[in-house]
């Protein structure tokens, strides 16, 4: 039986002033499963994804990604584990400006377990599959839609078990939202990656067989 992509147990996170807390007793995402995390702005969706990725320190509990306890790792060991097992898609893409599409994907492969000799082939093949004909183009010269394709390629480059997509369509109009989500979900399925996607857009619900509400996970006041 495949190892689950994500298991959260008794997670608790709070900011230093303790005015807001996020509490998740249990959340499990199976290998290859797509889950939508819903809730209003400021309710903790992005924070939860950051904790899962090891970008924020949880207060207590555990986060296991593809069989690895992310919460027990520190520094370079955590960076390496994140690079191997987690892909991230951000609302604003967070591409490296002044670099090419190919170089942006290379950045995601730095912490992967893939041999360096295979990086260029993997990056070029993935970019081509996702519709980027010129991998050597500067990302600042690409359209918004093309930039998102590069962001998806970067997220999937290291063949992660889990992709975290944080409001990936928030800045797009309805037509482009459909196109972007088609791309993200089809690419994750093709690579066998689980997807945990946050959104406050009601139209996204029809795309996911499983929907979880962040409001049920919050203890204390909203921040």
Q: What are the tens digits of pLDDT across the range 84-118?
A: 999 999 888 899 999 999 999 999 998 888 899 99
Task: For residue 114, give every residue at least 6 positions away whose Cβ sits within 8 Å of its Cβ, in sequence order, or none.
Answer: 122, 158, 159
Flag whether pLDDT at 45 surpasses 70.
Answer: yes
Flag whether pLDDT at 124 surpasses 60.
Answer: yes
Read off the pLDDT band of 18 (50, 70, 90).
low
Beta bridge partners, 87, equal 163
Distance CA 85, CA 90 (A): 17
Q: pTM value? A: 0.91
Flag whether pLDDT at 132 surpasses 70.
Answer: yes
Nearest to 57 by CA among 13, 26, 98: 13
Mean pLDDT of the chain: 90
Distance CA 136, CA 134 (A): 5
Which domains, ranges and CATH numbers included, belong to the chain?
A: 31-56+72-213 (3.40.50.300)
């Amino acid at each position: 039986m495949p190892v689950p992509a994500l298991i959260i147990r008794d997670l608790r996170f709070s900011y230093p002033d303790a005015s807001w807390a996020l509490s998740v007793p249990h959340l499990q995402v199976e290998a290859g499963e797509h889950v939508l995390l819903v809730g209003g702005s400021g309710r903790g969706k992005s924070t939860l994804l950051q904790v899962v990725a090891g970008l924020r320190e949880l207060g207590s509990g555990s986060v296991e990604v593809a069989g690895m306890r992310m919460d027990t790792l520190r520094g370079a060991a955590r960076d390496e584990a994140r690079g191997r097992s987690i892909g991230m898609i951000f609302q604003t893409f967070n591409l490296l400006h002044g670099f090419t599409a190919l170089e942006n994907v290379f950045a995601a492969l730095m912490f992967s377990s893939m041999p360096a000799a295979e990086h260029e082939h993997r990056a070029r093949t993935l970019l081509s599959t996702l519709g980027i004909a010129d991998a050597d183009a500067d990302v600042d010269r690409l359209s918004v839609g093309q930039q998102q394709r590069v962001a998806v390629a970067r997220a999937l480059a290291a063949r992660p078990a889990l992709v975290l997509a944080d409001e990936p369509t928030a800045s797009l109009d309805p037509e482009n939202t459909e196109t972007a989500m088609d791309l993200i979900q089809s690419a994750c399925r093709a690579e066998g990656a689980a997807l945990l996607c946050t959104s406050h857009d009601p139209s996204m619900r029809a795309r996911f067989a499983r929907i979880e509400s962040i409001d049920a996970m919050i203890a204390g006041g909203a921040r």
